[in-house]
Amino acid sequence: MPVHNEDIAAVFDEIADLLEIEGDNPFRVRAYRNGARTLRGLGRDIRTLVERGEDITRLPGIGKNLATKIHEILETGRCRTLEKLRKQLPADLVDLLHLPGLGPKRVHALYHELDIHTLEQLLRAARDGLVRHLPGFGPKTEARILEAIQAHADTTKRFKLVVAAQYAEPLVEYLRSIDGVKQVEVAGSYRRARETVGDLDILATARNGRRVIERFVAYDEVESVLSRGSTRATVILRSGLQVDLRVVPQKSYGAALYYFTGSRAHNIAVRRIAQKRGLKINEYGAFRGDQRIAGATEEEMFAAVGLPWIPPELRENRGEIEAARAGLLPKLVETGDLRGDLHAHTKASDGHESLRSMAKAARDRGLEYLAITDHSKRLTVAHGLDSKRLLAQLEAIDEFNEGDHGITLLKGIEVDILEDGSLDLPDRVLEKLDIVIGAVHSRFELSRAKQTRRILRAMDNPNFTLLAHPTGRLIDRRDPYDVDMTRIIRHARERHCYLELNAHPERLDLLDTHCQLAREEGVLVSINSDAHSISDFDNLRFGVGQARRGWLEKKDVLNTRKLPALRRLLAATR
């Protein structure tokens, strides 16, 4: 059966979790986590690289040990190291790691001190007041654990967009290869570029629907078939992702695509417009009585209710219908509009490639400029740059730019915003840079007032250019820190500085609603990869999807400018 990057990354993550619960060597744990991170951000299918005979140990974080395990998983679908660890620990112990705030170290304490193996045992221990007495816990942590267990019980599994894409894209190609299939499209929240996806809704047109359904349920990755008919089937993939396939007639394809793309709130609002016009709309078309008046295309469906076509990313009933009526729909930014990337790391800090390798990779993807923005010294875990090392890097950038490489490097830094709002490097050094990206990497627990004040003060530094990953969230792993984003965005407008939309699929930070507010306030947003390896540039497409959900046009995005115009905008922040 096909094995995807996410499948191997999940194996490495589980090995790291189990090793950490056992109290194993932290360097060994970190090696597996780094390997998982590399696979998730690779942007290419690791299986294809192996089949081509490429040396995967050249990938960042993939040494001989992990490479051997990757080959083992690809060839057998198993990993003996993981199987051995699972036998050594209770089977349900890993479930505890799915609760927010319970990392491997805390699970280690719960297991070894209270002999807790399951969520049910943890629930009882927390209710009995036993958890609070463990070192590093306390009453507040115990209360949060109770809340997290309840929330965990109330939610269904969702997949990050980048993970869903690993399963959706090869499945769509498989369906398109079936004889007689004309169109295949993934609808639902996936098409709307939501940051997480609950399931996949796939629509197809074909001469023989039954043949398509039979091929679909026979797909290698199908774990179980929930239902099967002549034109519709529902399956569960081995990853746990549910997929619904509907084969629809050509005359209803546009109606079905519109209907199953959603969102529900958007569809309800449009249905009310249709009702006022004496129409009924559903997945089969738009009808006046028994007469079908539209259905073959989405454009027909929207025209039937007096609206222009609305891009899928906007269909959340957040003003898009009113904008469509008024002829004010934005012309959304596209990946091809990006001329550069203003946030990238090299092996000078925690990146995995040289300055020249990163420049070449960005150029090969059609970018005209790239800002080198390694971490500053405060982030010791990332081997951050002090003033001396940064000044040496600036000389290397000057030397690179003297050659003809087809791309220009900009001098930058991702400088830590300290707790008091000061920046981690002196102004006499920062003023030599083209771009200064400020970032919060510590003290996420500060109160809303203190966190906001901290960032506002940093933005007031005359060298400050751009606020990186403004809320600090990691999807499904770390909640955003508590900060007044409305004040931050309005202060950026007053201060004439900019905000980042971090395109890394684990972040997608700014939120779409904050992008929309930035647009309304006239604050430019930079869609950046935060690349730590050459494959990370491929994640820019996810940032563009988030920007489109936030109504951003080409003119609203800082790095759609040509280099001379960009330089003027960067200089204007000083």
**459 and 562 both lie in a single domain:** yes
Out of 247, 279, 310, pick the residue that ends a domain: 247
What integer pLDDT is reported at residue 155 of this predicted model? 55
**379 and 481 both lie in a single domain:** yes
Question: How many structural domains comprise the chain?
Answer: 4
Place of tokens 């060839």: 75
Is it the case that residue 91 has pLDDT exceeding 70? no
**405 and 528 both lie in a single domain:** yes
Instruction: Name the more confident of 525 and 52.
Output: 525
Range from 10-24, 53-67, 488-502 that averages highest in pLDDT:
488-502
Nearest by Cα to 334 from 554, 165, 558: 554
Question: Is residue 234 a part of any domain in this protein?
Answer: yes
- The pLDDT of 249-273, averaged and rounded, is 94
**149 and 163 both lie in a single domain:** no
Per-residue pLDDT band at 237 (split at 50, 70, 90): very high
**407 and 421 both lie in a single domain:** yes
CATH of the domain at 168: 3.30.460.10
What integer pLDDT is reported at residue 468 of this predicted model? 98
CATH of the domain at 102: 1.10.150.110
Mean pLDDT of the chain: 92
Is it the case that residue 154 has pLDDT exceeding 60? no
Q: Strand order in 199-206's β-sheet?
A: 181-186, 199-206, 242-247, 232-237, 222-228
Measured CA to CA, the distance from residue 157 to residue 149 in angstroms comes to: 14
CB pairs under 8 A, 24+ apart, for 565-574?
A: 566/339, 566/340, 566/369, 567/434, 569/498, 569/524, 570/410, 570/434, 570/435, 570/465, 572/496, 573/464, 573/465, 573/495, 573/496, 573/497, 573/498, 574/431, 574/462, 574/463
Is it the case that residue 518 has pLDDT exceeding 90? yes
Instruction: Enumerate helices (H) and strands (E) in the chain, giving the number of each.
Output: 23, 17
The one-character DSSP state at 231 is: S
Label residue 492 exposed, middle or buried (CB < 10 Å: 0-12, 13-18, 19+).
buried
**137 and 220 both lie in a single domain:** no
**321 and 346 both lie in a single domain:** no
Q: Is the peptide bond before 349 cis (omega within 30 degrees of 0)?
A: no
Query: Angle, to 10 degrees, between the axis of helix 119-127 and the axis of helix 139-154?
Result: 140
Measured CA to CA, the distance from residue 127 to residue 354 in angstroms comes to: 52
Question: Is residue 330 a part of any domain in this protein?
Answer: no
Measured CA to CA, the distance from residue 12 to residue 32 in angstroms comes to: 5
Is it the case that residue 474 has pLDDT exceeding 70? yes
Reported as half-sphere exposure (CB side, CA atoms, 13 A), residue 30 has a value of 5
Measured CA to CA, the distance from residue 302 to residue 91 in angstroms comes to: 52
Across 156-160, 353-357, 422-426, least confident range = 156-160
**186 and 111 both lie in a single domain:** no
Out of 247, 281, 311, pick the residue that ends a domain: 247
**221 and 130 both lie in a single domain:** no
Measured CA to CA, the distance from residue 221 to residue 132 in angstroms comes to: 44
DSSP reduced 3-state for 292: strand
Range from 99-103, 141-145, 541-545 that averages highest in pLDDT:
541-545
Q: Measured in whole angstroms, how far is the alpha carbon of residue 420 from the centre of its chain?
A: 30
Nearest by Cα to 515 from 560, 553, 464: 553
Out of 264, 298, 325, pick the residue that ends a domain: 325
Measured CA to CA, the distance from residue 40 to residue 541 in angstroms comes to: 15
Measured CA to CA, the distance from residue 232 to residue 88 in angstroms comes to: 43
pTM, full prediction: 0.80
Distances (CA, A) of 150 to 122, 127, 197: 12, 12, 21
CATH of the domain at 314: 3.30.210.10
Question: Which residues span the domain enclosing 465?
Answer: 335-571
**362 and 504 both lie in a single domain:** yes
CB-based contacts of 178: which residues, under 8 Å, 6+ apart? 206, 211, 212, 215
Is it the case that residue 280 has pLDDT exceeding 80? yes
- At 285, list the tokens: 């078309």
**183 and 120 both lie in a single domain:** no
Residue type, 409: L
**368 and 407 both lie in a single domain:** yes
CB-based contacts of 446: which residues, under 8 Å, 6+ apart? 419, 454, 481, 482
